[in-house]
């Protein structure tokens, strides 16, 4: 029986990223399993990925992940299938437009091996690819289950353009300890335009810890009946914000599974995210000592908030 600190479940993706500073889109390895795992690995967590990809995924992508110390033994390559692929277009204001180009195979209960246990399972769909049975199986094999709901609340127009809506399968929340979502996602998944009420709705489902990432405004952490403002850890430069939220939860979980409290863990998450945005794609994660140094700066400015 293998034991991991963090197993991230969801599609690896091929991302085509453009921005005002980056006008030609080269294919880049993406998806939450990439960013979560690499951020956590930098903090010495034992990490693995459960994913399904097509035979269009360049083999060097998986070899590179393995070289970084990420276990890829539970990644399945499916013949005659496509790997999930997105075009990500960033505007001058930093706003992102997502277009789905290809969607990979579903991740079912049978795709979750019984041969492992994990301190944390992070469920991170990007195109509604994780079925309910897989969630139930992960709950049995993990001490803690966290969820990034983005793939459960994305709806796709005919041209692949993404818009957000209410969560398709809210019953998943009953099996989850931690939810991490952006402010827009939190409001969309609950159908509640008021962030305070949206967070409360998620807590009412039995979720113990709620994290709302808010870009330059930092993050909100709701735990043990208190709401904390987690300041943004300031990067030296912002090159590419792709994967920042995933790096946040990767840093958070790496600390939390070691028994660190949620507030400190969120500060580490903020610091982890600050390194990712300094480089294009999944290429900048910061050394452990540097992540902790930035986390200490964030921790010094954390405060309780009464209203969001």
Of the chain, the percentage scoring pLDDT greater than 90 comes to 81
Q: Within 13 Å, how many C-alpha atoms sit on residue 214's CB side?
A: 17
Cβ contact 41:2 at 8 Å: no
Mean pLDDT of all residues belonging to the chain: 93
**Cα(223)–Cα(254) distance, rounded to whole angstroms?**
17
Structure tokens at 83: 């790997």
Which helix (H) or strand (E) is 62 found in, with range? helix 59-67
Does residue 276 register a pLDDT over 90?
no
Q: Per residue in 247-264, is it b (16+ CB within 10 Å) or e — as a string?
A: bbbbbbbbbbbeeeebbb
Structural domain including 220 reads: 2-304
How many structural domains is the chain composed of?
1
Cβ contact 149:202 at 8 Å: no
Does residue 236 register a pLDDT over 70?
no
pLDDT in tens, 255-270: 999 999 999 999 999 9
User: pTM for this one?
Assistant: 0.94
Does residue 59 register a pLDDT over 80?
yes
Q: What number is the average pLDDT over the span 15-26?
A: 75
Q: What number is the average pLDDT over the span 44-61?
A: 97
Which helix (H) or strand (E) is 276 found in, with range? helix 262-276
CATH number of the domain at 128, please. 3.40.1190.20
Does residue 20 register a pLDDT over 70?
no
pLDDT in tens, 289-300: 999 999 999 999
Q: What number is the average pLDDT over the span 121-147?
A: 98
pLDDT band of 26, cuts 50, 70, 90: confident
pLDDT band of 27, cuts 50, 70, 90: confident
Predicted local distance difference test score (pLDDT) of residue 263: 98
Which stretch of 25-34, 216-225, 273-282, 295-304 has the lowest confidence by average pLDDT? 273-282
pLDDT in tens, 148-204: 999 999 999 999 999 999 998 999 999 999 999 999 999 999 999 999 999 999 999
Predicted local distance difference test score (pLDDT) of residue 279: 78
Predicted local distance difference test score (pLDDT) of residue 97: 83
Of the chain, the percentage scoring pLDDT greater than 70 comes to 95
């Amino acid at each position: 029986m293998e034991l991991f600190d963090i197993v991230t479940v969801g599609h690896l993706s091929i991302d085509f990223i453009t921005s005002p500073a980056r006008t030609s889109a080269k294919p880049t390895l993406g998806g939450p399993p990439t960013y979560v795992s690499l951020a956590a690995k930098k903090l010495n967590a034992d990490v693995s990925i459960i994913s399904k990809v097509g035979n269009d995924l360049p083999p060097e992508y998986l070899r590179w992940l393995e070289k970084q110390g990420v276990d890829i033994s539970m990644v399945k390559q499916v013949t005659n299938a496509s790997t999930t692929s997105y075009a990500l277009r960033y505007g001058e204001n930093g706003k992102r437009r997502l277009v789905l180009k290809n969607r990979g195979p579903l991740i079912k209960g049978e795709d979750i091996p019984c041969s492992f246990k994990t301190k944390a399972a992070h469920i991170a769909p990007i195109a509604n690819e994780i079925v309910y049975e897989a969630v139930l199986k992960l709950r049995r094999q993990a001490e803690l289950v966290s969820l990034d709901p983005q793939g459960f609340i994305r709806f796709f127009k005919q041209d692949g353009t993404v818009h957000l809506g209410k969560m398709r399968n809210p019953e998943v929340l009953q099996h989850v300890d931690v939810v991490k979502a952006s402010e827009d996602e939190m409001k969309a998944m609950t159908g509640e335009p008021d962030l305070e009420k949206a967070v409360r709705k998620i807590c009412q489902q039995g979720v113990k810890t709620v994290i709302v990432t808010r870009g330059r405004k930092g993050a909100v952490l709701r735990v043990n009946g208190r709401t904390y403002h987690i300041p943004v850890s300031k990067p030296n430069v912002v090159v590419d914000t792709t994967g920042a939220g995933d790096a946040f939860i990767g840093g958070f979980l790496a600390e939390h599974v070691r028994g660190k409290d949620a507030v400190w863990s969120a500060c580490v998450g903020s610091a982890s995210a600050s390194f990712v945005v300094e480089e294009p794609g999944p290429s900048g994660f910061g050394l452990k000592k540097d992540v902790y140094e930035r986390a200490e700066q964030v921790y010094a400015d954390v405060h309780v908030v009464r209203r969001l």
